[in-house]
Amino acid sequence: MKKTLFFLGILFSGILCSQDKVIDSLQALLKVAPKDTSKVNLLNQLSNRYTDATNYDQAVSSAQQALDLSSKLPFRPGMARSNVMLGRAFWKKGNIDAGLPYYFKAEKLYADMADKPGLAKTDAAIGLIYAYHDRFPQSLQYLYKALRMYEVLGDSEGIAKIHLNLGFSYLGQQNGPKAKKYLLLASKELKKAGNIGGQATALINLGNLYLGRVPKSLPDSAMFMYQQGLKLASAIGDIKNQGIALVNMGIIYRDWGDTTKALETFFKSMEIHKKLNDKGGVAAVLMDIGIIYKLQYKNKKAIVYFEDAAALAKEVNSWEYTFYSQNHLSELYARQHDYKKAFAAHVLRSNAYDSLFNEKNTKKIVQAEMDFNFEKKELAFKAEAEKREAVYKEENRRQKTIIIAAIAVLGLMICITFLIIRQIKFRNEQREIQLEHQLLRTQMNPHFIFNSLQAIQNYILTNKTMDAAKYLSSFARITRSVLEGSRMELISVEKEVELLNNYLQLQKLRFGDRFDYRIDVQPGLDTNMLIPPMLSQPFIENALEHGMRDIESGGLILVNMAVKEDRLVLEIKDNGQGLSQTPEPKRIHQSLATAITRERIKLMNRKQSAKIIFTIEDAYPDQVHKGVKVSFSIPI
């Protein structure tokens, strides 16, 4: 099983107290409260407490009552707060699509009231929600927006909290340098502000960043950060942070081979997650404990913990935890020669894997299509709000003197210019997303998918299970990499090389010895360097499908990456038929890929002063098979 890693980004974990007593007190006050703003405030407080107590239906009901009453009064601060509470309840319940619209309504209300603190908090919450659901571009957009607002307000603690959430967002993107920068900054600022809970959160996130560093005594090791975070969380009774620090410390102890300390910390963490009623967290810790007993060949003990984990996984409907727990159980039952139970666990593991694979890929495919429409509606909504605000301001300015009116006209012209520029930029972004989708469909065309699935089926029917598993694994990794790359403007050289390796290995299984390939990366080249995704794959596909179609053996594809004069040079060469010898229908397919690539580069070059250079020519002009050479020169 992969290492269990608990990430933190919530800023209000604080000291847990008896929620029931607070809720009872608020309900008693509600019975005697008049139907005015005080009742609205009480209902919103009650909704907040219900959410903390994981009673989400009651939280939604209380917030909706507060919204209805504040709308009748009318009481706009109460309306804004009610929308925030509704959004928070749906988010904590796991329904982001239902919760986000309420946050957007609250954002508009705070903007109309010119309530900058409320607007900053709402934008910060939206940014954090996006980070938790891996929508990192939107997350950074709202977090930086909130940061600018806090800077205008001079709110140092608000700035520190945004720095913490930026660190969390960059950590989710695996951008180590930026995550470390903002987490260290947040830790220093929160310590200065006396926010111990925030400090603990920052330190534990730094531990997550450093997790995997084995040394036991480095001041920036994961263990050191978790120990410091645990110490602070314990000082204020913050059991949520304590539980997260302990489980990750247990993982490190297990990696160090200290199973006694590992088990001790795992059991402490499990008790905390039980108090928090976090069944998913309990299941994860149960599996961590089971792994230790399994490694020690204490099979009966291990089976007990994995069975308990499997039961909780079923209860919280987690395919991932079901897969891992049943996988371990299958192996343990087999050790005890109980093959009937081993087979049953294997069937459950396989079903969970299929469900998990289908769920993740379906979600990503749907999300890739939905994100465009969602962002379009969001920007249109904001543009309309800004337009109404401009008209409102203009009507007020007409009542002032001629000089003020002239200044107002000038300001309006600036606003209109800004909106026009923004609209042009938005249209360009639309075109870029459409092109990326076109590229995705070009790369993962139906023929490739059909051939891959047919090959997998043939392997299965001929009992070549290992070949089928290898082919399916490569196919899954390629599908995941292409779907992820289609949503990101930049990926690392390492991920691009991994995608090409998986793709070419898969094609080797299909084409056999008809071709060979080599991917050369200049020694010392920084593989964390960022480049546009999937530039080379369409041309490699063209070489395989068209350039080498009539070649029975001896085909060769070369991919080379090297740094030359502050630019990354990416070259793709093949020894196929070449551009001029390719039949007309196939040249049209190649031209389509080339046209899409040129248009992508044209759009990317608009955003930067240093330009990407793209060329395509014969690779071996003096030979019969001239091949094709595609070159990209990318500024670092």
- Percent of the chain scored above 90 by pLDDT? 24
pLDDT at site 102:
93
E-strand spans in 270-379? none
Q: What is the pLDDT of residue 241?
A: 86
- Say what percent of the chain tops pLDDT 70: 81
Q: What is the mean pLDDT of residues 437-446?
A: 51
| Structure confidence by residue, pLDDT tens digits, 188-234 | 888 888 888 888 888 888 888 887 554 555 556 888 888 888 998 88
| pLDDT-based confidence at residue 9 (cuts at 50, 70, 90) | very low
pLDDT-based confidence at 17, cuts 50/70/90?
very low
Residue 381, classed as helix, strand or coil, is helix
So what's the pLDDT on residue 292? 92
Q: List, in sequence order, the alpha helices (H) in 154-278.
A: 156-172, 176-193, 196-210, 222-235, 239-256, 259-275
**Six-digit token string for 461:** 């029917």
Task: Report d(CA 214, CA 221) in Å as an integer.
Answer: 8
Question: Residue 93 and residue 102: Cα distance in Å, rounded?
Answer: 14
- Asked if the model's pLDDT at residue 280 lies above 70, the reply is yes
The model's confidence at residue 463, banded by pLDDT at 50, 70 and 90, is: confident
CA distances from residue 237 to 13, 76, 197, 243, 594 in whole angstroms, order as listed: 10, 36, 9, 11, 61
Neighbours of 364 (CB within 10 A): 16
Give the start-to-end residue ranges of the domains of the chain: 441-635
The confidence score (pLDDT) of residue 384 equals 56
User: In the prediction, which pLDDT does 395 show?
Assistant: 63
Under a CB-based contact definition with an 8 Å cutoff, are residues 613 and 571 in contact? no
Express each pLDDT in 468-493 by its tens digit: 777 788 778 777 777 666 667 788 99
pLDDT (tens digit, 9 = 90+) per residue, 98-143?
A: 888 999 999 999 999 999 999 999 999 999 888 877 788 888 899 9
- By DSSP bridging, strand 567-574 and strand 491-492 are unpaired
Question: Can you give the pLDDT at residue 412?
Answer: 83
Tokens 């006050």 found at: 29
Whole-angstrom Cα distance, residue 250 to residue 248?
5
Mean pLDDT of 321-340: 90
**Model confidence band, residue 508 (pLDDT cutoffs 50, 70, 90):** confident
Instruction: List b or e across 201-225, with b for residues whose CB sees 16 or more CB atoms inside 10 angstroms.
Output: bbbbbbbbbbbeeeeeeeeebbbbb
Question: What pLDDT, on the 0 to 100 scale, is given for residue 558?
Answer: 94
Q: How far apart are CA 443 and CA 503, in angstroms?
A: 11
pLDDT for 57 beyond 80: yes
Both tokens of 412, joined, read: 């309006």
- Copy the structure tokens of residue 408: 């107002």
CATH assignment, 441-635: 3.30.565.10
| Selected residue with higher pLDDT from 368 and 276 | 276
Q: Is 61 exposed, middle or buried (0-12, 13-18, 19+ CB in 10 A)?
A: middle
Q: Which of 80-84, 434-438, 533-537, 579-583 has the lowest mean pLDDT?
A: 434-438
Mean pLDDT for all residues in the chain: 80
